[in-house]
Structures are given as structure tokens and as C-alpha cells.
Amino acid sequence: MSTELPVLTKKDFQSDQEVRWCPGCGDYAVLSAVQTVLPKLDLPKEKFVVVSGIGCSSRFPYYMDTYGFHTIHGRAPAIATGIKTARPDLEVWIATGDGDAMSIGGNHLIHTLRRNVGVKILMFNNRIYGLTKGQYSPTSELGKRTKSTPAGSVDYPFNPLALALGAGATFVARSVDIFQPHLRAMLQRAADHKGSAFIEIYQNCNIFNDKAFAYMTEKDSRAEQTVYLEQGQPLVFGKEKDKGIRLVEGRLERIELGREFGPEDCLVWDEAFEDPSMAFRLAYMLPPEFPTPIGVLRAVDMPAYDARSVGQIEAAIDKDGQGELQQLIHSGELWTVKEDGSISRGDG
């Protein structure tokens, strides 16, 4: 059987709807990256479904010329789970934000990851509520002053990567809206992953939380403030590749390379390690002490929920045969009343 797929381009994934994010919003960059990567996946366009919740980023499906579902606040993972479980042949992508995914929809997020449903979750983290005009979010830093917290927030933020790891996510990565080549590479990796893929995307909200990630996105600080995770490579960073991360007595430590230490002293990154504890340590590499890790924290192969669910149905049909409705209705203790009023046990 030859299935010649038409060659798709970015344009094929752009809908006719006017994009209405604020000028300068980081969401544009993510949209562009997704529209660039999806055509390259060699899949028919009609197989894609983009699902979102509520928030600025959740407008995403309207701008994609795929099947799409702009659902209700926080529920995108639950609706996507239904789509993927009922239709494992579809490619289901979720666009969500820090408020949508980690506050009102926290329960669905962790359970979708726990089950390893084969969906891709793009969590746009701008550390603020944009659509409702600037309240602090569950990823806002402690002490955040916003309209709803004029004296500063008093609650500790979530660490999204640690939360995803804690929920048992089989693919966990981080990228940044303006790191386009990297972001595209992460999207490609997510597309290739079989179970749940979770990508935290640092996204600048230039209206309500501008420069939230400037410490690491500015050109001159970028190399010093980030460390790229590459499979099998030592954790080395800095413009001059003169800094590294080593593991000493179970703790991560930042080291200067050159005299005392070399790259061989640095932790060699293994994303496929089944025990997530090292990935946890990376998730807790926080500024200013540590550079921010960018890349894949965890990628392990485990059967997806949808595949297992379908597998059970197939196994049942193999074992018992296709169910017979007549037989199902006529099962149990039966009795038959004849025309003459006499009664016998069983079916007629």
C-alpha cells in the first residue's frame, strides 16, 4: 500500500483567523515553532488535534489549521485524554499555561502524566495570569506584587518540572519561546515520544510580567545563565565553556573548569535514566546559584495509557470473540412464558 502524503508546509498549519495576542507576546514564537515542526512529521494534517484550556496561550487552536478544541479552564488534559483514548490514531497536542495547567487544572495535569496518555503538553509558563489581566500565578515567585497581591504574594511557587517528574511523566523538557532552534528540537522530541510529553516553555508576557526570564534570555547573559542538557554530554556551560556542574556527595555543585577541574569531572547527562531523582536535582537548579537547565530532563519509554486501554479491548475480543448483543441481553437466569401461560426455565 503506498500512501503518498502531500508535502505539507508551515502555511498549511496556519488558520485563516487573525492572531490576537499582544504585539511582542512570546506566544507568537511558540506558534511559529509548532507550525514549523508539525508539517515535518510526515503525518496527514487531519490527524492533528490541538486542545487547550483557558488563558492567553489557550487561544492556540484557533490559529492552527488542524482539528482543534478550545475547552474550559484547566480541563484540556482531561478532554485530550478522552480524544486520545477513544482515537489513539490521532496526534493530540495540548496548549496550556501555568495557571490553566497548574492551578485550576492541576489535578488533570498530574493524572494525565501519571497515566502516560500519549499527548503532548506544551505549558507556556509566563508566571502570571495574562487573560484576566495580571494576577499572580502558581509559578510566580514568592513576594510577587500584582493587582491581587499588592503586598506581595505569600505562597511558594510550583516547580513545574519537579511537578511533572513527581507525577511520573515519561518525557519532561524545558525550552524558551525565543530559543527557536532549541524549541523546535524539543517539539520534535515530544512528537517522537510515545507516552505523555511535557514541555515547560518559558514565555514572556510583555504586558503583565515583562522580562520574567530576561536574566537568562538576554544575549550577553544567556550562555552564563543556562546549561543545555545533551544526552551523554557533560554539563558544561558559559561562553567559554569554562563552567560545569558536578555531582559531589549526592549534591550538585557549580565548578569552574580549567585548573582544578575539567569537563571529565562534570556530570554526564543521561535523560533515559529510569530513576527520576537526578532529573529532580536538575529541576531544582535555580538561579542565581545555578544556570537554568534547558533541554530534556527525562525521556523513558513506557507503554502509553491509550495503547494499553486498546490492548485490553483487543485481548478481550481475542479471548472471548466479538460480543454478541443478543447473547448479552439473553444471559443470566431466564424463564419463558408460553402462549398458554406455562413457564419453563431458559430461553424459549
| Residues near ligand SF4, by CB under 6 A | 21-22, 25, 27, 56, 126, 130, 205-208
Q: Which of other proteins, ligand SF4, none does residue 347 bind (CB under 5 to 8 Å by kind)?
A: other proteins
Q: How far is the CB of 259 from ligand SF4 (least distance, A)?
A: 45
Q: How far is the CB of 216 from ligand SF4 (least distance, A)?
A: 18
Buried b (16+ CB within 10 A) or exposed e, 102-117: bbbbbebbbbbbebbb
According to CB under 8 A, which residues from 97 to 116 bind other proteins? 107-108, 110-111
Q: How far is the CB of 238 from other proteins (least distance, A)?
A: 43
Q: Distances in Å between the alpha carbon of 218 and those of 45, 92, 178, 207, 223? A: 36, 33, 10, 18, 9
**Which positions ≥6 away from 347 have C-beta within 8 Å?**
330, 334, 336
Cis peptide before 293 (omega within 30 of 0): no
For other proteins, which is the closer residue by CB, 68 or 234? Answer: 68
For other proteins, which is the closer residue by CB, 87 or 211? Answer: 87
Q: How far is the CB of 144 from other proteins (least distance, A)?
A: 28
Q: Which of ligand SF4, other proteins, none does residue 206 bind (CB under 5 to 8 Å by kind)?
A: ligand SF4
Residue keyed to cell 495540548: 94
144/185 Cα distance (integer angstroms): 32
For ligand SF4, which is the closer residue by CB, 131 or 278? Answer: 131
According to CB under 8 A, which residues from 180 to 239 bind other proteins? none
CB atoms inside a 10 Å sphere around CB 243: 21
Residue 185 contacts residue 294 (beta carbons within 8 Å): no
Q: Which of ligand SF4, other proteins, none does residue 122 bind (CB under 5 to 8 Å by kind)?
A: none
Q: How far is the CB of 49 from other proteins (least distance, A)?
A: 5
According to CB under 8 A, which residues from 297 to 316 bind other proteins? 309, 312-313, 315-316
According to CB under 8 A, which residues from 155 to 174 bind other proteins? none
For other proteins, which is the closer residue by CB, 82 or 258? Answer: 82
Pick from 34, 38, 83, 94 the residue near other proteins by CB under 8 A.
83
The residue type of 162 is A
Alpha helices in 87-212 (DSSP H): 98-99, 106-115, 160-166, 180-192
For other proteins, which is the closer residue by CB, 79 or 255? Answer: 79
According to CB under 8 A, which residues from 326 to 345 bind other proteins? 326, 328-339, 341, 343, 345
CB atoms inside a 10 Å sphere around CB 247: 15
Instruction: Establish how many alpha carbons lie within 13 A of residue 117's alpha carbon, considering only the half-sphere containing its beta carbon.
Output: 27
According to CB under 8 A, which residues from 29 to 68 bind other proteins? 44-49, 51, 54, 61-62, 64-68
Residue keyed to cell 569552574: 256
Residue 145 contacts residue 166 (beta carbons within 8 Å): no
Reference 31, options 196, 205, 178; nearest CA is: 178
For other proteins, which is the closer residue by CB, 241 or 330? Answer: 330
**Which positions ≥6 away from 282 have C-beta within 8 Å?**
161, 229, 252, 293, 297
**Which positions ≥6 away from 328 have C-beta within 8 Å?**
none
Provide the mask over 8-27, with x wherever binding to other proteins is found by CB under 8 A and - wherever it is not: -------x-x----------
Residue 62 contacts residue 15 (beta carbons within 8 Å): yes
Binding site for other proteins (CB under 8 A): 15, 17, 44-49, 51, 54, 61-62, 64-72, 75, 78-87, 89-90, 107-108, 110-111, 309, 312-313, 315-317, 319-323, 325-326, 328-339, 341, 343, 345, 347-348
